[in-house]
Structure 1
Amino acid sequence: MKRCICRASGPARRLYFTSRPTPSSETTPPLPANPNKRELKDLTPSDLCYYWDTKPPNTAQLAFADKIFVPSRHSPIKLWAASKFRTTPLSSVEPEVAFLGRSNVGKSSLLNAIMGQEVCWTSSKPGRTREMNAFGIGGTKGGESKVVLLDMPGYGKASRTEWGMEIMKYLQGRKQLRRAFILIDSEHGIKQNDADILSLFRRYAIPHQIILSKIDKVLTKKKRQSKTGVSAVNIQRLQDMLRDLKPVIQPDPGVSEGPGALGEILTCSAEVPISPGRVLGVDAIRWAILSAAGIDGSLEGGRQAQI
């Protein structure tokens, strides 16, 4: 920027212009990181999730799970689709896990993030998933998949009674089923239809686990805050919320109709990337899927053992 200097010289005045340096972004040092905040990519499963009957996965286990889910020519692949339980393939032997949730809770988006590809149809309109869709993960040329993911029709708004009946037939009768993952919107909490599903799972002793979606809304109240980091206060707020859910998903055995959910609550934000190839909370969910299927990352060659 130039500034004008007026100097008197004899009867006339002369104007001189001199330059003053303007601050440049190239010379301005970056602001120091806020020591009271952490970036989303640095949050661990212990920060994002709540484990009380199980142990959080370690770095090696998370890396193993991510490796299994790396997309290839043989994974993920769509294996089958069925609108009725009696039409599901009976000959398959791969362990299966099912994903359920209220219509428009973000289930298909989460499955896409887990599988690393856009294989499930997502829509802003609820009720678009109208049949059971099976996807094979970890397969090789000429080999079977290591685990099968089931995208189930949503319940609640825009759902249909017959879908719920077919889902329950599958969950009760499918021998390959290892666990059902129930997606809950963290902004709205457990609604009545969620509570009804949980009650049915306990009554029929269906193994199940809770995942809270859209958790970035809890960690960062404003969208721009996701770039500046997460405060310790918000992480603690998340942990407090998860602890409050414990007696809801694992009610007192004296008053419960049956076994409650697995003793860990996972969280995620399926549309919040935290680094190339990583989405918030998805690595811990991948490990939970493998654990449910009995795939132990400490064993070479993808051998299976119940965890």
Structure 2
Amino acid sequence: MNILRLPPPIRSQLYRSLHTATHTAPPDLPTSLLLPSSPALLTLTPSTLNSYQISLPPQPYHLRYAHTFFASAPPSYLFTAANFRSFPPSPHPEIAFLGRSNVGKSSLLNALFGRTNIKDAYVSKRPGRTRTMNGFGVTGGIPLGKAPEEGERKEAWRRFPRGGVVVVDMPGYGGGSREDWGKEIMKVLEGRKQLRRTFVLVDAEHGLKGTDVQLLMHLRQQGIAHQIILSKVDKLLYPSAKPPGPQRLSNGLLKVRDLCTGIRRHLDQEAVKAGHRGRDTLLDILCCSSEKGLDEKNRHRKLGIDEVRWAVLSACGLECDEQGNRKKMLMRDIKILEDDEDLKNLAAGVQCLRPECA
């Protein structure tokens, strides 16, 4: 049939029918395959807030365990050291936190300890307030041993039980810090055998500074286990007092993701300039805030703090089992260290718990 010989009204109606049939989806194909879908909005999860390249993102039961471990008992002040030689010969795993002056380190530690109302780490607006290296013990609920006769506060580290972790608050570096403190800090980072990982705080709002790059390059070159924490990440995610809507939250998480990518690229470029060629270094970057909560219902659970807690426990081998409970191998009797000989024996026993001693 010659369509052109049909009357114009019938020809127009036929054209419309053919056009509709051509652009109608077949009944066996879903519409989503034919129409371009908009990208899904990012929601707040450990994998979207943080940037994991080495370890797997923690599961909800990991975060619950880490929260309980740090919140079950207040931290114990153990020691203050003005220099490397002043550190006690402790057999317990240690974690160090350091960063530029006024990067929010003390506020982060108080949030880590769950002590936002009672300040264990001193918070000050004046840079360089922390001038000594201070050790705080977190037991995860295991009670301390009996106080030695020579005084409870002087030898508190002797009562600290196995299965806990010692968090060391380092002096800040940068504008408000002294060169002498930096020398002692590096002695600890390079020579302290109990140190499992060093967490370096970087201001998420301002990014890497020159002193940050120098420190991170030194840790990288010396092979010192370290991890970056972006503090004050609420400045990117919560720009106003009200919680962000879904679109704004997704945009903020994309900014954080780009910031983490930029930090890695910057450090790899600096390594090439220094003549350290090779593969790019994989590095987990954690993001947190000591000010803002997860949401309106969980204001006391600060943003990203439980992920930092889990990273601390993972670095010290204090993870939970698949049921979210403390591993049985960590449940040991508490022994009071009376003298140096007891300390040596305990340290030897801890060494034999390692897999290579089996």
* CA 272–243 in structure 1, closer or farther in 2 if over 3 Å, else same: same
Q: Does 1:78 align with 2:101?
A: no
The residue number in structure 2 matching 1:14 is none
Q: Residues 127 and 154 of structure 1 are in contact (CA less than 8 Å); yes or no, is this contact kept in structure 2? A: yes
Q: Does 1:287 align with 2:290?
A: no
**TM-score normalized by the length of structure 2:** 0.68
Higher strand share: 1
* CA 55–250 in structure 1, closer or farther in 2 if over 3 Å, else same: farther
The residue number in structure 2 matching 1:141 is 144
CA distance in 2, matches of 1:105, 1:243: 20
Query: What's the offset of the Cα at 1:96?
Result: 0.4
Q: Residues 217 and 271 of structure 2 are in contact (CA less than 8 Å); yes or no, is this contact kept in structure 1? A: no
Q: Does 1:209 align with 2:212?
A: no
Q: Residues 106 and 122 of structure 2 are in contact (CA less than 8 Å); yes or no, is this contact kept in structure 1? A: yes
Deviations 1:77-117 (A, max 9, x none): 01000111111101x11100100000000000000000111
Q: Select the structure of larger CA radius of gyration.
A: 2
Q: Secondary structure of the residue that 2:243 maps to in structure 1?
A: helix
**TM-score normalized by the length of structure 1:** 0.79
Q: Secondary structure of the residue that 1:179 maps to in structure 2?
A: strand
The residue number in structure 1 matching 2:111 is 113
CA distance in 2, matches of 1:177, 1:141: 21
The residue number in structure 1 matching 2:286 is 266
Superposition RMSD on alpha carbons, in Å?
A: 2.6
Equivalences for residues 233-252 of structure 1 within 5 A:
233-249=251-267
CA distance in 2, matches of 1:198, 1:55: 23
Deviations 1:217-266 (A, max 9, x none): 11233x13435454322222221221222233456987438998762100
Q: Residues 209 and 261 of structure 1 are in contact (CA less than 8 Å); yes or no, is this contact kept in structure 2? A: no
Q: Does 1:167 align with 2:185?
A: yes
Q: Residues 92 and 166 of structure 2 are in contact (CA less than 8 Å); yes or no, is this contact kept in structure 1? A: yes
Query: What's the offset of the Cα at 1:43?
Result: 1.8
Further displaced range: 232-241 or 43-52: 232-241
User: How many residue pairs end up in the alignment?
Assistant: 265
Q: Partner amino acid for 1:232?
A: S
User: Tell me, which stretches of 5 or more residues in structure 2 are unaligned?
Assistant: 1-39, 146-159, 331-352
CA distance in 1, matches of 2:107, 2:54: 28
Task: State the identity as a percent.
Answer: 42
Q: Partner amino acid for 1:95?
A: P
Higher helix share: 2
Q: Partner amino acid for 1:193?
A: T
User: Tell me, which stretches of 5 or more residues in structure 1 are unaligned?
Assistant: 1-35
CA distance in 2, matches of 1:252, 1:126: 27
Deviations 1:111-141 (A, max 9, x none): 0000111211000111100000000002423
* CA 197–206 in structure 1, closer or farther in 2 if over 3 Å, else same: same
* CA 197–253 in structure 1, closer or farther in 2 if over 3 Å, else same: closer
